[in-house]
Chains A and B, each alone.
Chain A
């Protein structure tokens, strides 16, 4: 196993939309088993980075190496998922007409051949669904139509859909957006639990949440890597304060960062 290296590295990724560069020669790496937070002002390119990792967008230049395999930028979307990249979207993407349990059931057979999908979920798979339901705290809501869930519950369900697939790398785009304080705490704990067995990349705006749960933070700005390091160091970095607060106001006030980023 290539445990020593990095699960994902992105080299010189550039994405332009009509001449505007959403990513500009970005280099980015995550190690095996790492929990990494990605921050940056609106439009910094955070979602776009997830888009090129998952294949939603093709980069104009650049290379992606996943789990020791180069050329991943050319793989189809579903191949990347089968290789072990799972993604939670910025707006909760669940299937509203299916029940909570059925949503998990839909996620479970992703490595099966089409005709194998014709059998109903097996006992082992039912067990996995139950385990995941209790892990995401939706055990009592299994038979509810997912469209009727609260915003926070939808976010958890989507995390559950990824979790049941046991990805090697999990990408979470603003998992606590729109959540109440208590829901955030629950999610933070869930996140730490999830990160025990895999690499996780979390995009998050909520600096309070980042401070509580992050170790290493990467800051993105105008499609480039601005800085990277432990939360405390990043928060007091004058460049970070400047991009969040604008030039001329770099007084190094930590609270300001949290405020502006929300």
Chain B
């Protein structure tokens, strides 16, 4: 009897937060204004990035400071399609301003929404895979990996700024109007895009769960503990790490595509230092290696950011910094760690009560 009740309690603790979150997210279109809903949608795209980064950093121990790059690549790929759709038969406005008179050849395929969506996933994933393979093959690890990913992100950012005729330069891609023929400003389009984002987030989360439960999941944690040991167990860590990095890159890419469709702009600033570091903060605050923690972290941190920056635009950055330092020092396992501690003491207390009535045969 007691064990059954404990099982139910364990199930509530593991699936409860998830169900609650899903319910809230699905109800949000009924409760929020269009403006707030778009804002939440933006946070959810960040949450998708956070799940990928959690697989990469939380589970596998690779702290990438370059997820902004893959996010931006996904957003640009989708943005090219949206821009062409907005421009109709004319040349996109920024190309006209920079003196182009025909559409560059590499823009042509992006007239197709299918190509654009596929490219938004595949380009970041392949790019991450190539970078990863070269970096991991040279056995570059730890802080050097972080520095390289950050540096590459900045280099690509600068490249995008410099190639104004092809990328929109500093302004990036903006002035969008429709997606697949639906007006972006329309209420129904917004709700539709929001729901798609929720579904993608759910799929990305479930993919994460699947990987973590598989033998590959064991190896990811094993590599975080001792990569050399994994190598001397007969695995090729280069392949395993490349796979995870590419996967996280692809997730960031989808997130970017959903981002531009709902926020309406992507610029090279996404490839600056700040966004990529903020992404790490979401994961750390939510709780590494929990998958659900980083989702909550991404939503809460960005919600705090927008409420604070509406009221006090200047102190936000200090607040984020202080919050990060505070949490890392006091709660290294983030929000998820706090929840787990509370849950454990809850279980311990009620467990103690039960064991008085019915001593368990095998105390673990």
Contacts and interface: CB of A to CB of B under 8 A. Distances in A.
A109 interface: yes
Nearest to A76: B236
A79 B215 CA distance: 20
A56 B228 CA distance: 9
B235 interface: yes
A87 B221 contact: no
A159 to B, nearest CB: 13
A81 B236 contact: no
Given A105-B215, A117-B219, A120-B213, A93 B234 contact: no
Given A105-B218, A120-B213, A120-B215, A114 B239 contact: yes
A102 B211 contact: no
B225 A95 contact: yes
Contacts of B232: 54, 56, 77, 81, 87, 89, 93
Contact of A78 (B210, B214, B225, B235): B235
Nearest to B230: A106
Contacts of A87: 232
B227 to A, nearest CB: 11
Interface residues of B, number: 26
Contact of A106 (B211, B228, B233, B243): B233
Contacts of B211: 118
Interface in B211-266: 211, 213-216, 218-219, 221-222, 224-226, 228-236, 239-240, 243
A111 B235 CA distance: 8
Nearest to A119: B214
Contact of A96 (B218, B219, B225, B231): B225
Given A54-B232, A78-B231, A106 B214 contact: no
A104 to B, nearest CB: 9
Interface string B59-85: 000000000000000000000000000
Interface residues of A, number: 34
A149 interface: no
B215 A108 contact: yes
A54 B236 CA distance: 14
A261 interface: no
A165 B225 contact: no
Given A110-B234, A117-B215, A120-B213, A97 B239 contact: no
Contacts of A96: 225
Contacts of B225: 95-98
Interface string A23-67: 000000000000000000000000000000010100000000000
18 contacts: A77-B231, A78-B236, A81-B234, A89-B229, A93-B226, A95-B225, A95-B226, A95-B229, A97-B224, A97-B225, A105-B215, A112-B215, A114-B240, A117-B214, A119-B215, A120-B214, A120-B215, A143-B364
Given A81-B234, A117-B215, A165-B233, 17 more contacts: A77-B231, A78-B231, A89-B232, A95-B229, A96-B225, A97-B221, A102-B218, A105-B218, A106-B215, A106-B218, A109-B215, A114-B216, A114-B240, A117-B219, A119-B215, A120-B213, A165-B234
